[in-house]
Amino acid sequence: MTAYRTIVVGTDGSETSFRAVDRAAAIAADCEAKLVVVCAYSAPEQRKVDSAQDRLGSDVAYQVVGANPAEDTVRDAHDRAAKQGARDVETVVRDGNPVSVLSKVVQQREADLLVVGNRGLNTLAGRILGSVPAEAARKSSVDVLIVHTS
């Protein structure tokens, strides 16, 4: 088996997802692979934006609504990955369902490994509604590493 060349890891900014980033970065460092850190977000509905602007003012509302938190998340994840020794790190922020976004990035970057945390796998909601790690593993066309993060 050859070493991984491109690794995609998903993060939502939670501490558990950052543990998955750490593991993916360590693998990328060992394999001298490119690491692509992905954060999917849901675009806010205009009503929520208007409400936030009414309560907080437009300058502050921009900081808490929309893609900005996702940008902060991937910036933090990039720094963590560098500390783990990953040298070639790219970040991607996209609006959409996490599994769909991860799948598209895997395909576009021709990745050969997808890394996700196990958060949601063992919860009641995860068993009933499905979880990101379970759905990602089921739908992925490449190797999937589910990191024990909880």
30 lies in some domain: yes
- CA dist., res. 34 & res. 94, Å (int): 19
Tokens, residue 144: 């999937």
pTM of the model: 0.79
The CATH code of the domain that includes 138 is 3.40.50.620
* Total structural domains within the chain: 1
91 lies in some domain: yes
pLDDT per position as a tens digit, 54-100: 554 544 433 334 567 889 999 999 999 999 999 999 999 998 888 99
Region 5-25: mean pLDDT is 94
- CA dist., res. 72 & res. 69, Å (int): 5
Q: Which domain holds residue 114?
A: 6-147
| pLDDT at site 42 | 78
1 lies in some domain: no
60 lies in some domain: yes
Higher-confidence residue: 90 or 132? Answer: 90
